[in-house]
Structure 1
Amino acid sequence: MTTKHKADETSHVDEGIPLHEIPDVASPVFSEDGTETGDQSFFHEVRLNKTTRFNFLLSVCLSLVYFILGWSKSQIGPAFLDLMIISGVNLEMGSWFMTSYFFGRLIGSTVGGHLYTKMNHHLVFVASLLLNGLVLAVIPWCAYYELMVATHVLNGILEGGMNLTLTSKAVSVWGSTPRGRSYIQIMYAVFAISGILAPMATAPFLLSNSSREPNSTSWTSRSNSSMELYMTSWTHVSNSSEKPNMTSSTSRSNLPSEPHMTLWINRTTSKIDDVSTNNIIEHNDTSRKVIFPAENTSKLYVAYSISASLTLLSAVPFVVLFLKSKRGVVTNLKNVKHDYFGNISLMIKRLQLVNIGLFSVVFGVIGQSLGNFITVFCVQYLNWTKVAGAMMTSFYVFATLVGNIAGIFLVRLLKPDTILLLSTITYTIGFVGLSVSAYFYEDAGIWVSVCVIGVPFGMVWPTFISWTNANFIPVSGYITSYLLVTAHIATMLHPLIISYLMEEVSPLWFCYLCTVEGCISIFCTLMMVIYTKFS
């Protein structure tokens, strides 16, 4: 069954508000004493109208959770190298942290799509935020590789479920009106702000080593002030607690000249042997030699403790919302129609459904590459410090913030499909510039290219959600689940591909792969423009 779309026909259902109190978002708004507010200021309307006031409070709380999700996700990239050191793995194995995280988000989005209409959203946020805070606090203490992967899966499940509920709720709060489209941009602007602050807050607690070159056997530092991690096998003592001979010239040939602490880790006996003091410390279960300068140990747990505290505190407003709404969940969410908009044939609409899924995939993997691998790219290929790489991540997110802020106003001037087309073309050109600048080691070109990429990229996803909701199909729990699941399937596999190409072929494949994905996104956007024109 098809229906002809009208912007003000989008269902508008809010949790905890009696349905008869929810006004038509396109109709005049009345104050509690019956006086029509007309086109008066938004804050004047908030003051006079109880429903608008509740929706405003709900919007602020949803934005707060988006801030937390952006903070948590943006912390992964800068912390990635330290997480690999904590668990004692190289880049190829470390990529499973991101894969497991997005696998968890895939599970969370899938389950959340089925439970969206069956559970109290306020209580879902409370439980998810409390559990997520505890998981974040545990992550930097996971010296076992398998435990590190498992905590990232759990973190992904919780954040995936929250992200689905957030997206669906954000679309429903104000409907497919200019106010609603601007609010979606504001939500992602808040996400971008947290993405700027998280790397900056994480950087002071990272190991202060200069750039290093990871490979399958060792990470060798080029600075006397850095940490050297030697992934050497201890095969001749793998079944005993015997210490290796540290007096031979061979075993000490690679030791740094600075004061240090030398540890041999025998995972078979689950012990660490501090050669300098002969102290035995219980630890994990593989064999490797680790050399740390005594004054240079990881404080990543401090950064993750900050994240955990913010996450736990953000649960408080939803407890208040739940008590304020009294009635809890509005079951009439099931009455929201899921019909396609427009008078085009059903086959074309189904093909467009596949197209928006492909666009979601491409957008997800590009965002993942920029958010999680740009620090690694700057450290490995451009020989930047990790702090400089973290600052590049913050600069990219700042550029997306500029795009979000611009989008708040552009969505009222330009059609969503026009913004999408201009944005995808612009950031693809930026990827071409990034590739050329990186090839010639032009640092200035790198910064300019990342800016050209970030500004339009920041407008894309919220505009895409608005276009889908206004021109294709209402963005309900099921549609949000479809978009997020397709994106997370790709982002679950993408780290394995990009890390393999960066490590085994060349780090430049970070740029090349993003350029190809940008071209695919242009194709998907063209299909959306054509659909809009003929629907």
Structure 2
Amino acid sequence: GWVSGQRGASFLDLLLVTHTDITLGSLLLTLAGLAALTGVLTGGFLLDCTGRPHLMMAGAMLLNAVFSGVIPKCTAFPLMAALYFLAFFAFANFEVVTVSHQAKIWSSGGGAYMQGLFFCYALGAILSPLATQPFLAADNNRSSKTQETSASNDYLSDHAEYLTLSADTESEAGNDDRLSFYEQNQAAHDLVRSFNDSAVGYQLTTTMEIASTPVVTDDNVEAVIVTGNDDTRVFYAYLMTSVLCFSSGLLLLMLLRFPVTGSQKPEKTHPGREGKRTGRESLPLLVVCVTLACVYFSFSGCISFPDFLMTFVVKELGWSKTSGAHVTSVFWVGLAVGRLSGVGLVRVMSPARIITCCLLALLTSLLAMLLAALFRAHWAVWVSAAAVGLSVAVLFPTGLSYTHQRVSRLTGRLTGVIIATPTLTSMLNPLLVAHLMTQYDGVCYVYVYLAETSLGAVAFVVLHAVSAKSAMTTQTDTNQPEAECETGFIDGTGV
């Protein structure tokens, strides 16, 4: 949770370290999604082959500690991208092995523990942005849509030609003075190009900042340029992450010496259910495709929504990075509250009703954030960010339970495919969101997730209709009435 929460909070400062813009920097988040996809599949395969979960967990956590500690020191973007991929590849290996092994230890009586595990994930994601914020760079490149940046842009564009003429017609000046005028003129032109190259005006050159408004008079030219933006101390935030991962890896190594095993209790079976499950083992291709589409679109907000949340509020709304870190934590607070409430919610409502309510709440929350951004209602952004986190909190675990009940028994292969599918969001959304925010408007960030959630809701309706028809067919063939709602596949908790 700490690692995931830090990813979005430190994104802008990693761009400063490598001197890249948002479009190119979004490849970091895409690589994180690709690493998660390959890490989940590789980790599950290696676990089946080796049968050494403790060793794999410890090794993955220690590798993550090493890579996390050196990522902010890479000024070359290709090197940072490579280490970023390796760090999240190790992270994904740790995640899949941990969840699989803990489910084996806790068996059918560990539903509440599994919910507690998801809550700890959210708790780490809450604290991480708050701990990262003091080490972020100063808010020198606030939103381009503020009046100050627009005025600077217009001023430099209007006076660039004047600077050139002034330097060329300064006949009384000596060679040294001419050189000084030339350097000032060249620096001014560089600034104009850095402003004009950004389609919406907020991709400033990260190695230069305007320290004060240039003063141009009939007698002289004064252009004050400062090479700042190197004041980021994000390395110390990643160093904290490295220390936490290293200490966790050492604790996991202790499990090699003192292994933990669970009592293997036989799973409860109910008469008549085996026949129903057997009838669904051979899934129609349409059901599989709609299931994956529903998972991909409905759960995208839970995975990649906070990655660009700080970038959105800083660049589009003109907030400070401190406020951006806080609103990111507010999202994770909503997620944590939702995870806790899910423990009791799955016992009184069916998975289908929970998913329906969550999707409606998610659509409403995203629409509220869109209106808040358009009308600059900053207080509503805080409320809608918490509401988005609350709405997506139980979607994924409840979706697994729904698939287990209505579509097919969750075999290891099907579970791996379902878990790996949402990682495609982390690969594609950063590229799409960064391109739209750069070429059009920062509000496109909200439009993307609103569109994906809408498509996910439609996919879920189709999935529910197809699974209901399949259930009726199975009921007719077996002459066994199907219960309207079964309990979750892990102690009824819907995990």
Per the normalisation by structure 2, the TM-score is 0.73
Q: Could you say which residue in structure 1 is the equivalent of 2:425?
A: 490
Please tell me whether residue 118 in structure 1 is matched to residue 52 in structure 2: no
Counterpart of 1:208, as a letter, is A
- Give the one of 428, 433, 447 matched to 2:363: 428
Identity of aligned residues (%): 23
**Aligned mates of 2:113, 2:291 — CA distance in 1:** 22
Counterpart of 1:324, as a letter, is F
**Aligned mates of 1:407, 1:533 — CA distance in 2:** 28
Q: Contact conserved, 1:168 with 1:477, CA < 8 A, in 2?
A: no
**Aligned mates of 1:340, 1:191 — CA distance in 2:** 37
Q: Could you say which residue in structure 1 is the equivalent of 2:203?
A: none
Please list the CA deviations of residues 308-355 of structure 1 after superposition, one character each: whole Å capped at 9, or x if unmatched.
Answer: 111111123322323233999x9xxxxxxxx99636566655433323
Q: Could you say which residue in structure 2 is the equivalent of 1:444?
A: 379
- Give the one of 299, 315, 318 matched to 2:233: 299
Please list the CA deviations of residues 464-490 of structure 1 after superposition, one character each: whole Å capped at 9, or x if unmatched.
Answer: 233334554454543343123322233
Please list the CA deviations of residues 342-401 of structure 1 after superposition, one character each: whole Å capped at 9, or x if unmatched.
Answer: 365666554333233223322453234421001001011111011111111100110111
* Gap runs ≥5 in structure 2: 153-177, 192-206, 208-224, 265-273, 472-495
SS across alignment from 1:111: helix
Q: Contact conserved, 1:183 with 1:408, CA < 8 A, in 2?
A: no
Superposition misfits of 4+ residues, deviation over 6 angstroms: 220-224
- Give the one of 69, 76, 87 matched to 1:137: 69
Counterpart of 2:11, as a letter, is F
- Give the one of 383, 387, 390 matched to 1:455: 390
SS across alignment from 2:138: coil
Please list the CA deviations of residues 497-533 of structure 1 after superposition, one character each: whole Å capped at 9, or x if unmatched.
Answer: 1110111011111111111111122223334544268
Question: Which aligned pairs between 1:213-362 and structure 2 lie closer than 5 A?
Answer: 213=143, 248=182, 249-251=184-186, 253=188, 291-292=227-228, 297-325=231-259, 342=277, 349-362=284-297
Please tell me whether residue 90 in structure 1 is matched to residue 32 in structure 2: no
Please tell me whether residue 81 in structure 1 is matched to residue 81 in structure 2: no
| Alpha-carbon spacing, 1:534–1:415, altered in 2? closer, same or farther (3 Å) | farther
Per the normalisation by structure 1, the TM-score is 0.68
Q: Contact conserved, 2:143 with 2:317, CA < 8 A, in 1?
A: no
Q: Could you say which residue in structure 2 is the equivalent of 1:10?
A: none
Q: Contact conserved, 1:205 with 1:300, CA < 8 A, in 2?
A: yes
Please list the CA deviations of residues 62-112 of structure 1 after superposition, one character each: whole Å capped at 9, or x if unmatched.
Answer: xxxxxxxx1111111110110001000001010011111111122212222
Size of the aligned set, in residue pairs, is 399
Counterpart of 1:292, as a letter, is G
Q: Could you say which residue in structure 2 is the equivalent of 1:36?
A: none
| Alpha-carbon spacing, 1:102–1:401, altered in 2? closer, same or farther (3 Å) | same
- Give the one of 413, 416, 419 matched to 1:478: 413
| Alpha-carbon spacing, 1:327–1:396, altered in 2? closer, same or farther (3 Å) | closer
| Alpha-carbon spacing, 1:83–1:251, altered in 2? closer, same or farther (3 Å) | same
Please tell me whether residue 402 in structure 1 is matched to residue 337 in structure 2: yes
**Aligned mates of 2:283, 2:254 — CA distance in 1:** 45
**Aligned mates of 1:208, 1:108 — CA distance in 2:** 35
| Alpha-carbon spacing, 1:180–1:356, altered in 2? closer, same or farther (3 Å) | farther
* Gap runs ≥5 in structure 1: 1-69, 225-243, 257-271, 273-288, 331-338
Question: Which aligned pairs between 1:169-184 and structure 2 lie closer than 5 A?
Answer: 169-175=101-107, 179-184=109-114
Question: Which structure is larger by alpha-carbon Rg, 1 or 2?
Answer: 2
**Aligned mates of 2:365, 2:294 — CA distance in 1:** 18
**Aligned mates of 1:188, 1:456 — CA distance in 2:** 15
Counterpart of 1:521, as a letter, is G
